[in-house]
Amino acid sequence: MQHDFADLAVRLGLPAEKDVVQLSRNLSALLGGQPVELRRIPAASGRPCGRSFVTWSGDRVIEYTAHINEGYERHNVLHEIGHFLIGDLDLAPGDARLRGFSGLDPAAVARVFQRAPSTVHTSGSEEVAEAFASFADAVYIKSELLPDLVAAQPMAGVSGPGGAAHDGDEERHTQRALDIYEAIGPMWSRMTSVCPSVVLPSSGPTTAVLWSDPIFRLARRVTEILDSLDILARRFDPAVRDRAARLAPLRDPSSALYAAVIDDAIQAEIEGRPLPAAPMERNEPQVDCCFHRFSTLLAVASAFDRLQ
């Protein structure tokens, strides 16, 4: 399956192509020129972060919710692209996934799939689509983010050499991926302990080979942190942020405040506390850091560790 994923990624234009609109056009070409409509819709509580469907008239549509993190948006679109490439958009009569379409008569829908953090691995086809999206994430990380990091000075909380990057320096890129994977591990572990549904099984027939790649494992860990944030967001309490803001000194205020909010949300989930009457806005930059920037992710993870 890994070789199939590699071929599909190349045919989609990865890693050079990052724009989701162009990725959908490349998907259309792979489907023999059949048009694929891409819809970016507002985020809303309870709404899946991605959904793909085919109408009885043959229209192919991918919906994905708006998100401050472009990398996460692309992951959700690639998950839906995976469904089209795998060809498994099957629909049972009365399927609950037909509810809530934006401006679409449910009776017009012939086949559908959706990605939501709480139900992302409920079937074999969902696992395969999610594994494909994570494989694609790893392709992007390998081609861009890791070479940049290896060329930079070591970041706080991450060991490993700095210095200039060299083409084909896979050993150094792999070591940096392992460093980041370990550095964000404690925060990931706490988050997924209360959001276990986001974790992609490592022993399935599709994923077992993929998990041998440290960069794939890093891509998964980042996605599972973001998926956990989607579940925990309803517990983001502005009072916690305001209390943390009064603590001084803070070396990295934004990371420390965000880490405090995440830590409190996890504890609230464990204790089953009532939800905040007015939770923090989900899609504001100060709430949802752009975690595809590893320096930001590492800063929050480091601040989170200091709270434990």
Q: How confident is the model over 180-236, as pLDDT tens digits?
A: 999 999 999 999 999 998 998 887 666 778 888 999 999 999 999 989 988 898 899
* One-letter amino acid of 308: Q
- Which pLDDT band, with edges at 50, 70 and 90, does 161 fall under? very low
Which residue is it, tokens 């899946």?
48
Other Cβ atoms closer than 10 A to 12:
22
Instruction: Kindly report the number of other CB atoms within 10 A of residue 249's CB atom.
Output: 6
- Strands of the sheet containing 109-115, edge to edge, are 36-41, 60-65, 50-55, 109-115
Q: How far is CA 306 from the centre of its chain?
A: 25
62-76, 143-157, 166-180, range with greatest mean pLDDT: 62-76
Alpha-carbon span 22 to 137, nearest angstrom: 16
Secondary structure (3-state) at 141: helix
Joined tokens for residue 166:
């060299």
